[in-house]
Amino acid sequence: MATITQTDTIKTITTHYIDGAFVESHGREVMDIIKPTNGQVIGRVTLGDEEDTRRAIAAAKRAFTSFSRTTKEERSRYLRRLHEAVSARIDDLTDVMVEEYGGVVRFARLIVESGVAAFAAAEKGLQELPLKRSWGKTTVTLEPVGVAGLITAWNANALFICLKLASAVAAGCTVVLKPSEMSSLQTRVMVECLNAAGLPKGVFNVVTGLGTVVGAELVRNPDVAKISFTGSVAVGEAIMRDGAATMKRITLELGGKSPTIVLDDAALDKAIPSALILAFMNSGQACAAGTRLLVPRSRLDEVKQAIQEGMRTFTVGDPADPNIMVGPMVSQKQFERVESYIRKGIEEGTEVLVGGEGRPKGLEAGYFVKPTVFVNVKNDMAIAQEEIFGPVLSVIAYDSEDDAIRIANDSKYGLHSAVMGTDLDRARRVASQLRAGRVVINNMTDDPQAPWGGFKYSGVGREYGKYGIEAFLEPKAILE
């Protein structure tokens, strides 16, 4: 099915996906999609309005009546079909992520594969989650909460859509998805996959549009019971505030300023390359990016040397090239934001160990920045406290294990952390004292059954596996 029309090199999308069909947008505003490697227009998307959103909500509400009564087995079957349908187009989904978002190909593929894995993880989570428990004369069932509004960010579009949809479907909820408007081309390929899975019509609906229009309607509409949101703290706060009027159930996956603690017994030849991957993954546009590197003051010189060596592999350039590690920023706005923080870091009196202001040589056309490492950073500086969302790493020296833990926790965020060390018991002891939703020891690793989400300003609630499904369920007790 051709759902994208292409004239020369510009792709045009004028439809949304509502009630099992691609339907023309009621909203008329058109937005350009810009390719981040060269600033050229590669797409035009017609943005949905409140009317499109209400039509999608009505379709989801109609479908909820029967979908909410499906059995675990039926929903498992749908999850398997979704898994198959998205698996079949991993290459296409990767290519469009590279083109529209500028994600480096090796990482973009991992993101898409994680999205595919989310359906299998939800199926497993559903099997492990008892939806009914009885004792004495009491029976407790976990029931789908209702129509869910799913609102996503632009930095890992495929993953967010699959993850949220998988949990909602597993729970028996129907959904209206509002992807980031900046991910419209990626979303369209994804919706073609989801459509191919053949779920009952109305179970998932997709309206592309602005957050302040489509997103706001989802948040205020009384027929939407739940919002699952991934994005910035500022918008998360607005959703919580505005959602209160209709008593929304709310999951918020927000920002981070994650610490990586290198303990003094760490093998630097392993710890520093791992720490650099944590910091610069997805070109630094990652909520979990380990952007504060906490190192023992006694080993600072060795660390600086290891970083300089390690950074040679963090090449910047065309994200379609499999040898490239850092791609462009997603937009001009994001480019300016990252540059302004690099300037701020210099003004705050830190030492620029690697990178600095301005575009890398030969990459003047796109939104490229230089991967930058600051040393002599104090944890109260803006570059250590505020989420930059770009390839900028702050190295902070500490004096003792307790000092490292104190600095790590001295942040408004608490999404992700890492501990690097040779003595595993000690690393575990440090990990247990970190105020973060997830801590990895010695390497970036993942487990789709483990919960994902933040302490403090990093969010409310959890995603993944059974924890993610529970967020779309409501306990009900029947007492005889």
* Position of minimal CB gap to ligand NAD: 211
Three-class HEC string of 64-130 = HHHHCCCCHHHHHHHHHHHHHHHHCCHHHHHHHHHHHHCCCHHHHHHHHHHHHHHHHHHHHHHHHCC
Q: Which is nearer to ligand NAD, 32 or 399 (CB)?
A: 32
Cα gap 275→263, rounded to integer Å: 12
CB 174 → ligand NAD: shortest distance, Å? 19
Cα gap 227→151, rounded to integer Å: 7
Q: Which is nearer to ligand NAD, 57 or 272 (CB)?
A: 57
Q: Which is nearer to ligand NAD, 25 or 76 (CB)?
A: 25
Cα gap 118→87, rounded to integer Å: 11
Cα–Cα distances in angstroms (integers) from residue 89 to residues 84, 116, 191, 277, 364, in the given order: 9, 10, 11, 27, 33
Cα–Cα distances in angstroms (integers) from residue 338 to residues 67, 196, 351, 382, 446, in the given order: 44, 39, 17, 13, 27
CB 116 → ligand NAD: shortest distance, Å? 18
CB 285 → ligand NAD: shortest distance, Å? 8
| Residue labelled with tokens 């509502």 | 18
Q: Which is nearer to ligand NAD, 42 or 210 (CB)?
A: 210
DSSP β-ladder status, 138-144 and 132-135: antiparallel
Q: Which is nearer to ligand NAD, 421 or 461 (CB)?
A: 461
Contact residues toward ligand NAD (CB under 6 A) are 151-155, 178, 180-181, 210-212, 215-216, 219, 230-232, 235, 238-239, 253-256, 287, 387, 389, 415, 454, 459
Strands of 93-247 (E only): list them.
132-135, 138-144, 148-151, 175-178, 204-206, 226-230
Q: What is 258-294 written as a DSSP string?
A: -EEEE-TT--HHHHHHHHHHHHHGGGG--TT---EEE
CB 239 → ligand NAD: shortest distance, Å? 6
**What residues contact 181, with CB distance under 8 A and at least 6 apart?**
31, 45, 47, 208, 209, 210, 211
How many residues are there in the chain? Answer: 480
DSSP β-ladder status, 351-354 and 372-375: antiparallel
Q: Which is nearer to ligand NAD, 219 or 295 (CB)?
A: 219
CB 118 → ligand NAD: shortest distance, Å? 13
CB 305 → ligand NAD: shortest distance, Å? 31
Catalytic residues: 253, 287
CB 446 → ligand NAD: shortest distance, Å? 13
Q: Which is nearer to ligand NAD, 171 or 286 (CB)?
A: 286
